[in-house]
């Protein structure tokens, strides 16, 4: 049975989990889900190789939720993730899939978050813990995280954890977990170190490898909008105002969303219709035929429902919901640019979905261009131009002699200039669709996507020197070249374990036994204490205020900080 013919109901998932999938509107498992779920349900260890964005979260969350015993209040599943963003995203997915499991609790734990809140929730009891390696280690050392009842461990984005210098931490955690357990390792690539971890810690694993068809046409313009400052429907409305399109397909994730969005667009004056798996074949074919015959301009569809659509007039594809699967993205945008024509694909990306955008770019080997929402001035100008064109076309194509006489008579009787009459008529004509749009212009979202640490970017492009920034201070950390540390390792550890945005991490200088890093002044005490415990290449950072030493033994602590080298929080002075 091919993956395309498998449904979720064929996978022997627990009834509450299957109901949640149905309620959400998911129609069919992705290849990684169809291949992985049976093995995990049967209790096998699993080694999964697939690109980020192929639906791996559901591949392990659905079967492991099916085996959860909610009567037990200690953690039964531990998921290790490289970043706080991914940890939150995975925890939210578990909560969504477990919405029908009464009494279920999942807890994300990561650096930069209040430790007391995590301790309180752990004491109350959780079934699934999703965490970054550093914070999980903190809890294990405190004995606040009890792994004695653990039945399964998932290593998510294993190669990313290796790249960020966490793999030694991951192995330390695996050593402290029960020996009798199920282990699943997912990775986009399989470098030697990850294969070595799999050989040591997985027991006769089943292997699943998903190859993606990630070729996109050069005739398709691809761009994305970072969701911020307004809701997606308003953003879509603005884009439809200014994009000159013939036919359009808008992709959403669920069947419910197709009907809801189609209804809202129709209410805004667009010719739109839903296309989803609940429609019978006759209705589906009729909808596609209407799109071909220009009786319909916009179709809102799910991935499954849109398979096989070949309508040459489709000039635009909008990914209203970003696909979890890079291959699905390629299939979606392939609905445009047919028969050698040019097309345009627009992708909506929420801040928490930036990893999926990165995965799409990495898989397709094509960067997407950031776009800004049309402003009210742009839309107003577009409407005015359309209004003028309509007037000109009407003057050229219609016999207006009767109206000329009526208006000339009206002008004479009321002593009103023809220009004023024309203005009044123009006002009446545009009342339903005003020419002057009064939207609040949206400030573009801060897009850290381009500044993320990638495999090659840190080595090829030096970080911007920020030592002269009066809002920064230079700190010393006890990891350097002899520990095989790289700037990317340091950025990843600080950003993900201490919650400091990578944009606020300044110059990094590597020395043999230590490094220096520029960070914002006035860090909260909790953040500073967290940074002390953060590990890079299995070395504790033990951060302190730098004294300007370069390869020399550390001297006395600076007198303007405390005994641990912590600078005063409101000091405006720079380190000497």
The tokens describing 207, both together, are 């292997």
> Which pLDDT band holds residue 557 (cuts at 50, 70, 90)?
very low
Structural domains of the chain, with CATH: 3-209 (3.40.50.300), 220-374 (3.40.50.300), 377-429 (no CATH), 459-576 (3.30.70.330)
Chain segment 323-380, per-residue pLDDT in tens: 877 777 887 888 888 766 789 999 999 887 888 888 888 878 888 999 887 777 777 7
More confident residue, 354 or 251: 251
Chain segment 91-140, per-residue pLDDT in tens: 988 999 999 999 999 999 988 777 888 999 999 999 999 999 999 999 99
More confident residue, 430 or 223: 223
The tokens describing 521, both together, are 């002044």
274 in the Ramachandran plot: left (φ > 0), alpha (ψ -120 to 50) or beta? Answer: beta
The Cα-based distances of 386 to 19, 376, 404 in angstroms read 48, 15, 23
Chain segment 39-48, per-residue pLDDT in tens: 999 999 999 9
The Cα 181–Cα 194 span in angstroms is: 19
Which residues does residue 221 pair with via DSSP β-bridges, in sequence order?
344
The Cα 508–Cα 516 span in angstroms is: 6
| Model confidence at 13: pLDDT above 50 | yes
Compute the C-alpha angle 233/234/240, nearest 5°: 90
Region 461-466: what's the mean pLDDT? 39
| Model confidence at 541: pLDDT above 80 | yes
| Model confidence at 412: pLDDT above 50 | yes
Residue 445: CB atoms within 10 A of its CB come to 17
Chain segment 278-292, per-residue pLDDT in tens: 888 788 888 988 998
Mean pLDDT across the chain, nearest whole number? 81
| Model confidence at 175: pLDDT above 50 | yes
- Per-position b or e across 291-313, b if 16+ CB within 10 A of its CB: beeeebbbbbbbbbbbeebebeb
| Model confidence at 18: pLDDT above 50 | yes
Chain segment 49-78, per-residue pLDDT in tens: 987 666 788 999 999 999 999 999 899 999
Nearest to 154 by CA among 223, 56, 83: 56
* Sequence-separated (6 or more) residues with CB below 8 Å from residue 239: 225, 318, 346, 373, 374
Region 174-185: what's the mean pLDDT? 95
Residue 501 has a pLDDT of 65
Region 181-187: what's the mean pLDDT? 94
Compute the C-alpha angle 305/310/316, nearest 5°: 85
More confident residue, 242 or 300: 300
Region 407-436: what's the mean pLDDT? 84
488 neighbors 453 (Cβ within 8 angstroms): yes
508-510 and 515-520 beta bridge pairing: antiparallel
Residue 179 has a pLDDT of 92
| Model confidence at 1: pLDDT above 60 | no
471 neighbors 496 (Cβ within 8 angstroms): no
Nearest to 210 by CA among 80, 52, 329, 87: 52
> Which pLDDT band holds residue 4 (cuts at 50, 70, 90)?
low
Residue 79 has a pLDDT of 97
| Model confidence at 555: pLDDT above 50 | no
Region 563-572: what's the mean pLDDT? 40
User: pTM, whole model, 2 decimals?
Assistant: 0.53
Residue 462 has a pLDDT of 38
Residue 567 has a pLDDT of 42
| Model confidence at 552: pLDDT above 70 | no
Chain segment 433-463, per-residue pLDDT in tens: 777 766 554 444 445 444 443 333 333 333 3
Residue 214 has a pLDDT of 57
Residue 114 has a pLDDT of 78
| Model confidence at 25: pLDDT above 80 | no
Rounded (10°) CA dihedral 105, 108, 114, 120: 20
More confident residue, 120 or 486: 120
> Which pLDDT band holds residue 562 (cuts at 50, 70, 90)?
very low
- Per-position b or e across 75-102, b if 16+ CB within 10 A of its CB: bbbbbbbbbbbbbbbbbebbbebbeebe
The SS3 assignment for 250 reads: strand
């Amino acid at each position: 049975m091919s993956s395309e013919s498998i449904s979720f109901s064929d996978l022997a998932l627990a009834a509450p989990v299957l109901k949640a999938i149905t309620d959400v509107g998911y129609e069919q498992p992705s290849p990684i889900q169809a291949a992985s779920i049976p093995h995990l349900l049967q209790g096998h260890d699993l080694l999964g190789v697939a690109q980020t964005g192929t639906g791996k979260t559901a591949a392990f969350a659905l079967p492991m939720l099916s085996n959860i015993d909610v009567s037990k209040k200690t953690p039964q599943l531990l998921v290790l993730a490289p970043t706080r963003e991914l940890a939150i995203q995975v925890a939210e997915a578990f909560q969504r899939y477990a919405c029908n499991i009464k009494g279920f609790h999942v807890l994300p734990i990561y650096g930069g978050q209040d430790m007391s809140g995590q301790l309180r929730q752990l004491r109350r009891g959780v079934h699934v813990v999703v965490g970054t390696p550093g914070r999980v280690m903190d809890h294990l050392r405190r004995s606040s995280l009890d792994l004695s009842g653990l039945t399964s461990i998932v290593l998510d984005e294993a190669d990313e954890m290796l790249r960020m210098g966490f793999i030694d931490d991951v192995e330390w955690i695996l050593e402290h977990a029960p020996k009798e357990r199920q282990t699943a390792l997912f990775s986009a690539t399989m470098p030697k170190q990850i294969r070595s971890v799999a050989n040591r810690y997985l027991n006769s694993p089943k292997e699943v490898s998903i190859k993606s068809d990630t070729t996109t046409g050069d005739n398709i313009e691809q761009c994305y909008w970072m969701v911020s400052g307004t809701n997606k429907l308003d953003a879509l409305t603005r884009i439809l105002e200014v994009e000159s399109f013939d036919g359009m397909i808008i992709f959403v994730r669920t069947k419910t969303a197709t009907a809801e969005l189609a209804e809202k667009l129709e209410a805004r004056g667009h010719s739109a219709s839903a296309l989803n798996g609940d429609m019978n074949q006759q209705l589906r074919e009729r909808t596609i035929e209407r799109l071909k015959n220009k009786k319909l301009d916009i179709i809102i569809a799910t991935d499954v429902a849109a398979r096989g659509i070949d309508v040459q007039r489709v000039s635009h594809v909008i990914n209203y919901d970003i696909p979890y699967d890079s291959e699905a993205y390629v299939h979606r945008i392939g609905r445009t640019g047919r028969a050698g024509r040019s097309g345009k694909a627009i992708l909506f990306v929420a801040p928490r979905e930036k990893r999926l955008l990165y995965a799409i770019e990495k898989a397709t080997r094509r960067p997407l261009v950031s776009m800004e929402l049309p402003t009210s001035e742009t839309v107003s100008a577009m409407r005015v131009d359309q209004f003028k064109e309509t007037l000109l076309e009407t003057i050229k194509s219609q016999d207006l002699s009767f109206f000329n006489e009526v208006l000339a008579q009206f002008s004479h009787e009321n002593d009103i200039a023809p220009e004023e009459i024309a203005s009044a008529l123009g006002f009446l004509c545009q009342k339903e669709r005003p020419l002057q749009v009064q939207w609040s212009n949206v400030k573009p979202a801060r897009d850290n996507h381009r500044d993320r640490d990638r495999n090659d970017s840190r080595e090829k492009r030096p970080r911007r020197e920020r030592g002269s920034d009066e809002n920064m201070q230079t700190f010393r950390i006890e990891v350097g070249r002899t520990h095989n540390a790289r700037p990317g390792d340091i950025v990843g550890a600080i950003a993900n374990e201490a919650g400091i945005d990578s944009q606020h991490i300044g110059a990094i200088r590597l020395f043999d036994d230590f490094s220096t890093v520029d960070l914002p002044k006035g860090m909260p005490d909790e953040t500073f204490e967290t940074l002390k415990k953060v590990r890079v290449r299995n070395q504790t950072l033990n951060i302190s205020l730098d004294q300007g030493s370069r390869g020399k033994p550390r001297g006395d602590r600076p007198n303007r900080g405390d005994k641990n080298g912590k600078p005063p929080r409101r000091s405006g002075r720079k380190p000497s």
